[in-house]
Amino acid sequence: MKYAIFGDIHANLEGLEAVLADSKEQGCTDYVCVGDIVGYASNPKECLARVRELDCPVVKGNHDEEAVLDTSLEGLNPLAKFAMEWTRNQLDEEEREYLTNLKLVRQVRDFTIVHATLDTPGGWTYVTNKFDAMASFSYQFTQLCFYGHTHTPRIYVKGDSVDAAEETSVDLTMGTKYFINVGSAGQPRDGDWRAAYAIYDVENQNVTIRRLEYDIQTAQQKILDAGLPEMLAHRLALGK
């Protein structure tokens, strides 16, 4: 049994479709989403429909939360503010309700999923180093936890100490915990434009992060056609 674990789609349908096609080819039968389905790109409704069609466990991301609020967006930078207002205007009542009802943390089989951190899941802080990872590990009661939010794939390993694994693939060892960022399907920010997701191979007790080229030109053109800021199209190619 293989799980495909993906998130930070951010309304990029081309990125999401590439992930789903590849995971099928890789023999994945089950799907899990770590949140931020909407926000930034031009296909929030289509991405929502596609994820819901999978009928899989999903946790709420900060953009999923923001998209259903009617609070002021004054704190956001102009780019994020414009994109969020646009996104809010696309969603209907039923889609809003779906996003509202998503949970912040879930256990799936023998692992946990969360969007940002396990220590303050609704605080939307970022895990960018091993000290941040240590805080999450204190609240991790399963061997494995998958998360997103930074849009940067990373494998944190907690044995005697906490370290970030150099490799993008890890064989799981009993008694060791893993906090794994699956990267972003729709807006990578580690300087690599390719879509990212993770495969958890249950039989072989292994997790691998995969990177995939996708139809970025179409995704960029759709952002421009929707009247969203040009920078949102541009940054996809930069992987930032």
**Which residues contribute to the site for Zn ion (CB under 5 A)?**
8, 36
The answer to whether 156 touches 182, Cβ cutoff 8 Å, is: no
Shortest reach from residue 87's CB to Zn ion, in Å: 12
- Identify which of residues 33 and 157 has a Cβ nearer to Zn ion in the complex: 33
The dihedral of CA 34, 38, 44, 48: what is its sign?
positive
Shortest reach from residue 150's CB to Zn ion, in Å: 8
Shortest reach from residue 173's CB to Zn ion, in Å: 30
- Identify which of residues 187 and 208 has a Cβ nearer to Zn ion in the complex: 187
Shortest reach from residue 203's CB to Zn ion, in Å: 31
Shortest reach from residue 126's CB to Zn ion, in Å: 10
The residue sitting closest to Zn ion, measured at its beta carbon, is 36
Q: Which of 218, 211, 176, 240 is nearest to 6 (CA)?
A: 211
- Identify which of residues 12 and 112 has a Cβ nearer to Zn ion in the complex: 12
Q: Which of 12, 38, 47, 6 is nearest to 237 (CA)?
A: 12
- Identify which of residues 11 and 145 has a Cβ nearer to Zn ion in the complex: 11
Give the span between the Cα atoms of 127 and 224, in whole angstroms.
31
- Identify which of residues 36 and 201 has a Cβ nearer to Zn ion in the complex: 36
| C-alpha R_g of the chain | 17
Give the span between the Cα atoms of 45 and 47, in whole angstroms.
6
Shortest reach from residue 151's CB to Zn ion, in Å: 6
Shortest reach from residue 23's CB to Zn ion, in Å: 20
